[in-house]
Amino acid sequence: MTFRGPFVAGLAWRAFILLVTSFAFVAALATEGLGAARLLAAALCGWATWALWRYIQRTNHELARYLEAVKLGDLSQSFSQRGGSGFSEVGEALEQGIQRLRDERHRLTDASRFYEAVLDDAPTPLVTVSSDGRIELANKAARRLFVRHQGIRFDDFRIYGETFARTLTEDMIGRPRLVPLMLDAVPQSAMVSAALVHRLGGTVRVVAVQPIQGELNAVEIAAQSDLVRVLTHEIMNSMTPVTSLARSAADLMAEVDDGSDPTVSDARAAVETLARRADGVMHFVESYRQISRTPDVRRKTFAVAPWARELESLFRAGDMAEGVQLILSVTPETLNIEVDPDLMAQVLINLMRNAAEAARDHAAVPRIALSFALIPGNRVQIEVSDNGPGVPESVAQDVFLPFFTTKPKGTGVGLSLARQIVLAHRGSIGLGASESGGALFRIIV
């Protein structure tokens, strides 16, 4: 080692002094009349012994301090030595070692912070499940998704659906699964997958929960729009000449029918019925062209309270509002919303009219409610409810489908178009039951 020469030299002259003082002390003891010399020799011998011991112990002390610093993780210690002896090289070597540990710790800390930032900002919600069943939300996306989460056990996740909570307990490593997920009381779908990670001598399951309802809705809406576009195009091409001929035939029959021949009168009635039905089919098909076009959403932020009062006025102006009590609620009063006011008004007016119709046909005192509320995640929840008969569970999943209607004269356009508009706002719409047993439509935007 580089410090061997200076160290040996320092050790040699200290040992030499100790040897000389020891001989002097022995000689003084053997000679009478040298009491003072004995004391001086003893003092010098003791000093030489102390100097030699201190010289050797200094390295042991520095090594012990170095090992203690490494053991405790205290890398702020300094080991540089000055004075020109061999121990300065020892101190420099120890200082270089501790500096290397500092650099390595700094590098690992930076890497750890980077990976933590990547994990925390990852767009996919991640949940960790330990071997003892403890569940933790691992990143921001998970905390935003499970905003109502209050616990760390499987049962605490039942508010998001029994199937989802049960999925967290199952071993599904390498087997992604499509799972129903309840968010804001609206059924959703999520792709759930898991991986096994070793941590601190144990294993942890990392579960990725990716809601895909938006993607499923987009695919479904696109498929429905394509289907409706093709059907309306083909039907219009076929029905246009039929409608034209039926009208012409009805006009011709009206000219020749003077009422004297019952056969001609019956033929005229049949042709006029055919013309009316052909016009009805054309009108029906034309109405479906609305849902074959994606709504053009023009968002803007505005206060809810005055807009809600405007919606109330529009509803009151319709024929369905007669005799119907409307309860309006905005919480808080200063609530703002970011939507297309015209498109969303179209949705809400349609829902309010449907609710009023159901309440009038069922309740002695028909009543509907329109409420706006701020919910966690800085989102707005809109609810339209009534005290009508409600929607049977057997058809509740179909009410938003094109062509589906439970009304004798319905077209099945209104709710399907409403769903398209809400989805175009990147929101969700669902159907439930109100406290009075009627229907409750809930929109989250």
> Over the stretch 98-135, which tens digit does the pLDDT of each residue have?
778 778 878 888 888 888 888 888 888 998 888 888 88
Pick the residue with more confidence: 393 or 346? 346
Strands of the 379-386 sheet, one edge to the other: 325-331, 367-375, 379-386, 439-444, 428-433
> Would you mind telling me the total number of residues written for the chain in this entry?
445
Please calculate the CA angle 177-183-189 and round it to the nearest 5 degrees.
25
CA 435 to chain centre: 30
Q: What is the pLDDT of residue 36?
A: 77
The stretch 240-249 carries a mean pLDDT of: 80
Q: What are phi and psi of 166, to 5 degrees?
A: -70, -35
Taking the CA atoms of 144, 145, 147 and 150 in sequence, report the sign of the dihedral they define: negative
The share of the chain scoring above pLDDT 70, in percent, equals: 82
- What is the CB neighbour count within 10 angstroms for residue 389? 14
Q: Which residue, chain included where needed, has tokens 């809810």?
A: 304
**What is the SS3 assignment for 71?**
helix
Taking the CA atoms of 109, 110, 112 and 113 in sequence, report the sign of the dihedral they define: positive
CA proximity to 55, closest of 96, 20, 77, 86? 86
What pTM was computed for the model?
Answer: 0.58
User: What is the Cα–Cα distance from 416 to 423, expressed in whole angstroms?
Assistant: 11
51 pLDDT tier (thresholds 50, 70, 90): confident
440 burial level (CB within 10 Å; 0-12, 13-18, 19+): buried
User: What is the Cα–Cα distance from 225 to 231, expressed in whole angstroms?
Assistant: 10
**What is the SS3 assignment for 115?**
helix
Q: 384 and 348 in contact (C-beta within 8 Å)?
A: yes
Both tokens assigned to 374:
């701020």
- Residue 332 preceded by cis peptide, ω within 30: yes
356-372 tens-digit pLDDT: 988 888 888 899 999 99
**What is the SS3 assignment for 67?**
helix
